[in-house]
Amino acid sequence: MAELASVKVTVYGRVQGVFFRASTRQRARDLGLTGYARNLRDREAVEVRAEGEKAQLDRLIKYLEVGPPGARVERVDIDWSEYTGNYADFGISY
C-alpha cells in the first residue's frame, strides 16, 4: 500500500500572474492529488496544500520548484504532515 501524506508548499518569486495556480491544479490532478493552490496577498508567493501518495507529492514538489513558463521560482518552503483526507479534488482557492 502506498504511503499517504499531506504537504504545504510555499513558493516565492515571480509566481503570480503567470498561470502558476492553474498549471499546478492541472499537474496535481494528473498526479491524482487533492488540495488547493492560492495566491498569498502580502507577498509574491503561492501556497499549495496537497494530499495523496507521497511519491506523487514528491513529483508535484519537483514541478513547483520550476513552475510554468514565465515563472521565476526563488524559494520553496516545504512542510510535511499527516494525511487528513479533507479534500475531494484539487482546486484554486481565492
DSSP notation for 45-62:
EEEEEEEEEHHHHHHHHH
Q: Active site residue: 14, 38, 39, 59, which one?
A: 39
* Residue 86 annotated as catalytic: no
What residue segments make up the domains of the chain, in order of their start? 4-87
State pTM to two decimals: 0.95
**Is pLDDT of 94 > 90?**
no
Fold classification of 4-87 is: Alpha-Beta Plaits (3.30.70)
pLDDT tens-digit series, residues 43-85: 799 999 999 999 999 999 999 999 999 999 999 999 999 999 9
**DSSP 8-state code for residue 3:** P
C-alpha span between 20 and 49 (Å, rounded): 14
Q: What band does 1 get if pLDDT is binned at 50, 70 and 90?
A: low
Strand ranges in 1-94 using DSSP code E only, listed in sequence order: 4-14, 34-40, 45-53, 72-81, 90-92
Options 14, 21, 59, 72, the catalytic residue: 21
Q: For residue 39, indicate whether it is catalytic.
A: yes
Residue 50: all three cell numbers together: 496537497
